[in-house]
């Protein structure tokens, strides 16, 4: 047992020395400035031995975890009362009567007769001074005699006092990891009374000694309120070996009050050569307690002053309000918020739009908050307010009058509109015009009205004037449009001609036409469809000149919405250009591009396949096996609609064309279109089967 403990101690000392040498490099850097804010988890840390005391700024408000050593010269003190509920194992004895005792954790309340634990830590700058005191009284009734043969048990009464003062220095003070190097002594006082059973022979002895110690403490903050502490020390003196390991989880309830829980392991081997007193034990168990923290200098809150420029404005002028902060912590993030009528801004300056403000005095308020990103202003001392006022003066809008000559017009005639605007403050004016029918053009004090396109009857003309401050005024004048002679009755296309129009959707391969070649993208079968449409529609226009076609472009959902929108625009533009090249008037073609909107669903495409009259039942089954590919191809199209009728393009996919494989994005068939009649469908389906 002693050999294992000594090996463990050597490993602990070696690890501690390694950390001391490694972290000394970090200690050479400049310590980070402390952050003012609510108490971090360190505030609760002194609830057990070797936990750090809080800093002044931790006791005041939100801060970086455990910034000991960051704030300089103020003392910070934490006092904690904790409970230790240990098991005890080992050998104790006096005057040659030794007993092996074994008290598990489950018997702690039976054997523990009394305990007084208290921990105090005082820190200043990077220096830390933890002190731990423990008084404990135990009664063990089942000790096993080691060298008293014929005795069945030993009743042991043990009283011990342990005082452990240390001093240390914070070598590493990072945001996510901190390390303190510690050194000190551990003073022991032990009073032992053994009674042999069944003889009743008793013996007692007390002893005290001092051991020198060295160790370290790691602190891992978990946010603002929680942290984990792992500490250890080892040494010797009058004892052969003396070491302990402590692991704690600390939590801040308030800036002044915290709590913690964890585990403490203490091993001591005290065996003087006289063998008059033996204390070779391991004491380990759960610890939990509360801490009370005080001291330190409260942080100085920031201040701010606000100013408005200019302070006297007309409505529409812009006012700039500037906040000037003082006393900010450069290590913290600072955010600004502004409030007031028509105020915008989120930095040190804000703008006020006075266009909608009535004359009077207005106040803008600014609020400054500092702290960690996302946690600014969590405490009152991290907030500063300021305000500034400005005055909006009365500002008169312009006036306007206008007239038209002549006022009686035949359809297509023009009239001159004259306007006169006046600004009481002689501000520069701009003029605008609107008409309820026809068109009007002009930007100065005169404009020309054209009755083209206006309905017969009175037309109202609105004249407007505005100044550079956003104020405006309007007035109206009017003209009268004479009724034109009735037009001859329009020619009506025969139902036969309307029915003869062959409307079919136009299909495209993936990404066609491209941005580099917008003139391409139409395969031969789709060119033939458009050629037939152009011939029939030109005949239709001879009887109904106002007839119009609407081309609507679609894409499949692959690609970004922006890319698909432009691709659908190129498709309708290509189809329109093809019709115009074959004599269809451009003015009779409307286009719209909807990108990847209005997608055919799988069920809709399946229904189109099942109702396609050009497919046999066997072919339909083969196509349905590649439904995902067909759904994409079905959405790469341009639909055609004859305006004013219920005529819309047929949506059945051209499986029986020579270039259907190209449209489906399969390997292009090496066959001339004039050689591919009904067998093209079978070949296209065969290619689908081979590819997929």
**Blockwise average pLDDT, block size 10, the chain, 692 residues:** 44 39 33 30 46 47 39 74 86 84 80 86 90 89 80 84 94 89 94 84 87 94 87 92 93 86 93 84 90 75 92 88 90 91 90 90 93 84 91 87 92 92 88 91 90 90 88 92 73 61 83 92 89 88 88 92 93 92 92 90 87 86 86 89 82 83 63 39 46 38
Burial class, 159, CB count within 10 angstroms (exposed 0-12 / middle 13-18 / buried 19+): middle
- For residue 534, the Cα-to-chain-centroid distance in whole angstroms is 55
- For residue 423, the Cα-to-chain-centroid distance in whole angstroms is 52
**Backbone angles phi and psi of 129, in degrees to 5:** -140, 85
pLDDT for 208 equals 92
pLDDT for 68 equals 46
- Are 115 and 136 in contact, with CB atoms under 8 Å apart? yes
CA pair distance 477, 403, nearest whole angstrom: 6
CA pair distance 345, 347, nearest whole angstrom: 6
pLDDT for 414 equals 93
CA pair distance 174, 172, nearest whole angstrom: 6
Tell me which residue of 97, 244, 95 sits closest to 162, measured CA to CA: 244
Peptide bond into 602 cis (omega under 30): no
pLDDT for 337 equals 92
Provide the 10 A C-beta neighbour count for residue 318.
12
**In angstroms, what is the C-alpha Rg of the chain?**
47
From residue 595, alpha-carbon distances to 12, 527, 573, 604, 657 in Å are 69, 22, 13, 18, 25
pLDDT for 682 equals 47
486: β partners: none
pLDDT for 496 equals 62
Kindly state which CATH superfamily the domain 495-691 is placed in.
OmpA-like domain (3.30.1330.60)
CA pair distance 1, 426, nearest whole angstrom: 103
Kindly state which CATH superfamily the domain 303-392 is placed in.
Immunoglobulins (2.60.40.10)
pLDDT for 491 equals 58
212: β partners: 185, 236
pLDDT for 352 equals 94
Sequence spans of domains, the chain: 2-295, 303-392, 399-481, 495-691
pLDDT for 492 equals 60
From residue 507, alpha-carbon distances to 74, 205, 325, 571, 572 in Å are 81, 105, 66, 9, 11
Tell me which residue of 38, 60, 41, 61 sits closest to 52, measured CA to CA: 41
DSSP state of 546: T
CATH architecture entry for 2-295: Beta Barrel (2.40)
CA pair distance 365, 336, nearest whole angstrom: 10
pLDDT for 24 equals 35
pLDDT for 460 equals 93
119: β partners: 80, 132
pLDDT for 264 equals 93
pLDDT for 645 equals 79
pLDDT for 381 equals 79
Burial class, 408, CB count within 10 angstroms (exposed 0-12 / middle 13-18 / buried 19+): exposed
CA pair distance 271, 92, nearest whole angstrom: 10
399-481 matches 303-392 in CATH topology: yes
pLDDT for 51 equals 61
pLDDT for 53 equals 54
SS3 357: coil
490-494, long-range: CB < 8 A, 24+ apart: 490/544, 491/543, 491/544, 492/543, 492/544, 493/540, 493/543, 493/544, 493/547, 494/543
CATH of 399-481, one of 3.40.109.10, 3.20.20.70, 3.40.50.2300, 2.60.40.1080: 2.60.40.1080
């Amino acid at each position: 047992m002693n050999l294992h403990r000594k090996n463990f101690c050597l490993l602990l000392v070696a690890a501690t020395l390694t950390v001391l040498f490694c972290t000394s490099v970090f200690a050479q850097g400049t310590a980070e400035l402390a952050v003012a804010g609510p108490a971090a988890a360190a505030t609760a840390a002194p609830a057990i031995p070797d936990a750090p005391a809080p800093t002044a700024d931790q006791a005041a408000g939100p801060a970086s975890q455990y910034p000991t050593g960051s704030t300089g010269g103020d003392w910070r003190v934490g006092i904690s009362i904790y409970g230790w509920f240990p098991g005890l194992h080992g050998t104790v004895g006096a005057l040659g009567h030794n007993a092996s005792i074994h008290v598990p954790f489950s018997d702690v309340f039976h054997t523990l007769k009394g305990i007084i634990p208290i921990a105090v830590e005082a820190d200043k700058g990077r220096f830390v001074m933890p002190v731990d005191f423990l008084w404990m009284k135990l009664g063990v009734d089942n000790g096993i005699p080691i060298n008293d043969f014929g005795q069945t048990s030993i009743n042991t009464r043990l009283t011990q006092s342990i005082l452990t003062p240390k001093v240390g220095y914070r070598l590493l003070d990072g945001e996510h990891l901190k390390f303190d190097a510690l050194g000190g002594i551990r003073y022991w006082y032990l009073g032992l009374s053994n009674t042999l059973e069944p003889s009743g022979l008793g013996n007692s002895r007390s002893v005290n000694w001092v051991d020198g110690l060295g160790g370290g403490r790691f602190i891992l903050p978990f946010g603002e309120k929680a942290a984990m502490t792992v500490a250890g020390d080892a040494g010797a003196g009058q004892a052969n070996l003396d070491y302990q390991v402590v692991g704690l989880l600390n939590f801040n309830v308030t800036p002044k009050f915290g709590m913690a829980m964890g585990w403490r392991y203490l091993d001591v081997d005290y065996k003087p050569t006289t063998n008059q007193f033996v204390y070779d034990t391991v004491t380990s168990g759960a610890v939990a307690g509360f801490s009370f923290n005080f001291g330190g200098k409260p942080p100085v809150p920031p201040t701010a002053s606000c100013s408005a420029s200019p302070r006297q404005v007309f409505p529409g002028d812009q006012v700039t309000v500037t906040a000037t902060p003082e006393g900010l912590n450069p290590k913290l993030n600072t955010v600004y918020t502004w409030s007031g009528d028509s105020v915008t801004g989120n930095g040190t300056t804000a703008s006020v739009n006075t266009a909608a403000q009535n004359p009077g005095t207005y106040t803008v308020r600014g609020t400054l908050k500092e702290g960690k990103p996302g946690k600014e202003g969590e405490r009152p001392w991290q907030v500063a307010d300021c305000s500034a006022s400005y005055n909006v003066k009365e500002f008169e809008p312009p006036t306007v009058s206008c007239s038209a000559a002549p006022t009686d017009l035949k359809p297509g005639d023009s009239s001159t509109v004259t306007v006169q605007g006046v600004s009481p403050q002689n501000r520069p004016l701009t003029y605008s015009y609107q008409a309820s029918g026809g068109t009007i053009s002009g930007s100065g004090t005169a404009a020309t009205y054209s009755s083209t396109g206006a309905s017969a009857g009175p037309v109202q003309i609105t004249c407007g004037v505005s100044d550079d401050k956003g104020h405006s005024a309007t007035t109206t004048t009017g003209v009268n449009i004479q009724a034109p002679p009735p037009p001859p009755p329009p020619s009506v296309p025969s139902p036969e001609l309307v029915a003869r129009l062959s409307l079919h959707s136009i299909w495209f391969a993936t990404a066609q036409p491209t941005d580099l070649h917008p003139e391409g993208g139409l395969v031969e079968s789709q060119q033939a469809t458009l050629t037939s449409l152009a011939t029939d529609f030109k005949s239709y226009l001879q009887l109904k000149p106002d007839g119009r076609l609407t081309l609507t472009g679609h894409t499949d959902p692959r690609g970004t919405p922006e890319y698909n929108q432009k691709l659908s625009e190129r498709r309708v533009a290509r189809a329109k250009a093809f019709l115009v090249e074959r004599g269809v008037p451009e003015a009779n073609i409307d286009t719209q591009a909807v990108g990847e909107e209005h997608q055919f669903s799988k069920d809709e495409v399946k229904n189109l396949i099942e109702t396609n009259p050009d497919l046999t039942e066997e072919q339909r089954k083969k196509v349905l096996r590649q439904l995902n590919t067909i759904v994409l191809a079905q959405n790469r199209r341009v639909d055609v609609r004859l305006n004013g009728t219920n005529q819309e393009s047929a949506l059945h996919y051209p499986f029986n064309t020579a270039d259907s494989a190209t449209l489906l994005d399969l390997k292009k068939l090496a066959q001339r279109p004039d050689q591919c009649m009904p067998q093209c469908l079978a070949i296209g389906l065969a290619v689908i089967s081979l590819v997929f």
